[in-house]
Amino acid sequence: MSDLEIQAGLGRSARAPRPAHPPRRGRRPRIGVAETLSGLFALFLVAAALAPALVAPGDPLGIDPLSAFQAPSLVHGFGTDESGRDIFTRVVHGTGSSLLIGTLATLIGLGLGLVLGTLAGMLGPVVDFTVNRLLEVLFAFPGLLLALLFILVFGPGVASATVAVGLATAPGYARIIRAQLVSVRSSAFVEAATVLGLGRGRILARHILPNTLAPLFVLGTLGIGQAIVWASALSYLGLGATPPAAEWGAMLSAGRTYIGSAWWMSFFPGLFIVLAAVSATALGRGIDRRLRHA
């Protein structure tokens, strides 16, 4: 079991049917308040990542010792840090790297998971057994442990942390993809296609792949949130991006020293991490519901 499998709703008992409880039963789920807010926040993040100067026209690294440690005010919405840099500007300028790290890590994890999961699901029982044992071994390095081991070997740094998070999430993806593949392959509609006389290649292209890959979109969305949290945790521990880089985790790490006097230095970067993760979860679930009811 991995964080992702729970977020994706795969942790529920296989026997219990998916409850059709509130929000109201209906043909197509409405776009809820949570999804709308999450979508807006995600748009804001993307804008901040693509054009940070437009969202916050200051210099994220510009030192201004005279205005150090200012509490949040109208001038400095999120306050300033020990060198007088505007926290809001830094948070906005840090969006790009945090988002990029999260996305790349997710792509790495998803890619590795796809390879492993597909091998296990498609190439017969021997490969399946082998891959499953490998996954069991990888799951024995829970959470950040695999990432830490990777960093031990390849040294700290942004690139290393990104790959490390990708690697650490890969077993979870692999297992989900394998399970999905196996269930689609043995589904009644694939059997029906066999009975119709469709060839293996056609069944694969028409039924198995689309039905296996569609949920990956949901997984990826959920995973980006998780990857951002993990990558910033590594940065916070001094193993990823390091201050004075405007990366959320690194900013939090820098603010740690001044926790007693300048809470805003830690609070706002962290808030963005939480909001990013929450919107990723809410959006992922929204997409999931839509796919199921479409």
What's the chain's length in residues? Answer: 294
Member of 22, 57, 65, 201 binding another protein (CB under 8 A): 22
Span interacting with another protein, options 55-63, 74-82, 97-105, 237-245, rule CB under 8 A: 237-245
129 near another protein, rule: CB under 8 A: no
Q: Is 201 in the site for another protein (CB under 8 A)?
A: no
Q: How far is the CB of 260 from another protein (least distance, A)?
A: 5
Candidate ranges 48-56, 69-77, 98-106, 233-241; the one touching another protein (CB under 8 A): 233-241
Mask 27-46, x = binds another protein (CB under 8 A)? x------x------------
The site map against another protein for 150-169 (x = CB under 8 A) is -xxxx-x-------------
Candidate list 47, 122, 148, 209; residue touching another protein; CB under 8 A: 148
Query: What b/e readout covers 94-131, taking b as 16+ CB neighbours within 10 angstroms?
Result: bbbbbbebbbbbbbbbbebbbebbbbbbbeeeeebeeb
Asked, as a colleague might, if the bond just before 72 is cis with ω within 30 of 0, I would say no
Of 54 and 152, nearer to another protein (C-beta) is 152
Name residue 276's amino acid. A
Question: What does the longest C-alpha to C-alpha distance in the chain come to?
Answer: 78
123 binds another protein (CB under 8 A): no
Closest CA to 250 of 56, 58, 26, 87: 87
Q: Does 212 bind another protein (CB under 8 A)?
A: no
**CB of 146 closer than 8 Å to CB of 167:** yes
Binds another protein by CB under 8 A, chosen from 43, 50, 62, 136: 136
Measured between alpha carbons, how far is 207 from 216 in angstroms, rounded to an integer?
Answer: 15
